[in-house]
Amino acid sequence: MTDVSRLPAVVAENWDWQMRGACRGMDAAVFFHFDNERGLVRRHREESAKEICSRCPVRAECLEHAVSTEETYGIWGGLGEDALRRLIAAKRRSPGPE
């Protein structure tokens, strides 16, 4: 079963940013890899996603969401999975004020 305990409460303000994302309405396959994807195919897909993120008005909100919910699958806030894992690990080591 999926653990949803880290997801924000179902309150419109917590999710409203998603309505303004540059990726809204796009094919999610640009942002999420398929099984066993690797090499140039993976790199090109990730570069395409990051280019979209680079002009997104809610990039900061998207990244904050990914880190706070410990989301490591896909491209979020312009970062790939390795970068997200590093940020999440750093936050766990030094959580700071809530």
In the bound complex, which residue of the shown chain has the CB atom lying closest to ligand SF4?
Answer: 21
Least distance to ligand SF4 from the beta carbon of 39, Å? 22
Q: Which is nearer to ligand SF4, 57 or 90 (CB)?
A: 57
Least distance to ligand SF4 from the beta carbon of 93, Å? 25
Residues interacting with ligand SF4, by CB under 6 A? 21-23, 31, 52-53, 56, 58-59, 62, 75-78
Least distance to ligand SF4 from the beta carbon of 73, Å? 12
Least distance to ligand SF4 from the beta carbon of 1, Å? 25
Nearest CA to 29 among 48, 15, 14, 7?
A: 48
Q: What is the full DSSP assignment across the chain?
A: ----TTSPPS-HHHHGGGGG-TTTTS-GGGTSPPTT--HHHHHHHHHHHHHHHHT-TTHHHHHHHHHHTT--SS-BTTB-HHHHHHHHHHHHHS----
Q: Which is nearer to ligand SF4, 24 or 91 (CB)?
A: 24
